[in-house]
Amino acid sequence: MFWEDAYVREFDATVSSVEGNQVVLDQTAFHPRGGGLVGDTGTLSGVKVVDTIKGSDDSIVHVLELAGPFAVGNSVHGVVDWDRRHRIMRMHTSAHLLSAIFNKETGALITGNQIEPDKSRIDFSLDDFDRERMLVYCGHANEAIAKNPPVKTYFLKREEALKIPGITKLASVMPPDVRDLRIVEIEGYDLQADGGVHVKSLGEVGKIEPLKFENKGKSNRRMYFTLP
């Protein structure tokens, strides 16, 4: 459901499987952990969901605080922790924007990332460790946010998507081997293959506040940032 509409906060579903405190539904608005993003939290029929992960069969698994009173076939009402989710969406879109600007200015690719509600980090394949230049790039990102272009998601055939320059900005990871790739487009700034949750317009991000830059070894520079 989060691919169709990342703004769905509540939904009804049917339990497909239960194993201890882990529940799989026939549909869900909870986004699983992966790709550097933390998993969603919230509740299923009042029972606390403490994490959302991917199962071995690519199912989406809701990890409950305690084993809940659920059985296969039960109807449940899901509620996503929206304040937390929206911050993750804002952080994730910010990371795409930053990676696009760093890539445009330096050719740097992403060597690692961790997107969390309160503080996030991105690692770049940069030879030079120039804090002042990195602050300039963050300034460029905030200028883009102020213009508030739309953020769109859609699917393209894999072979068509891979013809687009910069469709992935990861240093060592190719897009999944699937027929159709989901594309996230920040109009005028970036196109990337991505399966995560994002805001609808860049202005929702607010403002990127860089916190710290670190030298993590040869050609690896780390940036921590937050959103006030």
Instruction: Give the domain CATH number at 27.
Output: 2.40.30.130
Pairing of strands 42-44, 120-124: unpaired
Query: What's the average model confidence in pLDDT over 132-151?
Result: 97
What is the pLDDT, as a whole number, of residue 43? 98
Count CB-CB contacts under 10 A for residue 178: 11
C-beta of residue 11 within 8 angstroms of C-beta of residue 27: yes
What are 72-126's pLDDT values in tens digits? 999 999 999 999 999 999 999 999 999 999 999 999 999 999 999 999 999 999 9
Whether residues 115 and 159 share a domain: the answer is yes
CA distances from 121 to 34, 115, 180, 184 (A): 15, 7, 29, 20
- At residue 170, the pLDDT reads 85
Residues 32-60: what's their mean pLDDT?
Answer: 95
Residue 175 pLDDT: 77
Q: What is the average per-residue pLDDT within 8-20?
A: 97
**pTM score of the predicted model:** 0.94
**What is the distance between the alpha carbons of residues 216 and 41, in angstroms, rounded to a whole number?**
31
What is the rounded average pLDDT of the residues 173-177?
76
* Residue-wise pLDDT tens digits, 181-198: 999 999 999 999 999 999
Say yes or no: 69 and 94 in one domain: no
Reduced to 3 states, what is the DSSP secondary structure of residue 117? Answer: coil
Mean pLDDT to the nearest integer, 216-225: 91
Residues 44 and 132 in one domain: no
- 172 in any annotated domain: yes
**Residues 163 and 110 both lie in one domain:** yes
Sheet with 221-226: strands ordered across: 110-114, 120-124, 221-226, 209-215
Q: What local confidence, expressed as pLDDT, does residue 174 receive?
A: 72
Bridge-partner residues for 213, per DSSP?
223
Mean of the pLDDT values across residues 132-147? 97
- Per-residue confidence at 128, pLDDT binned at 50, 70, 90? confident
- CATH number of the domain residue 179 falls in: 3.30.980.10
Q: What is the token pair recorded at 202? A: 């860049």
Q: 52-66, 94-108, 166-180, 200-214: which has the minimum mean pLDDT?
A: 166-180
State the pLDDT at residue 35: 87
Q: Based on the fold, state whether residues 38 and 91 are members of the same structural domain.
A: no
pLDDT at position 176 = 77
5 inside domain: no
Element at 144 (helix H, strand E)? helix 131-147
Q: How many domains does the chain have?
A: 2
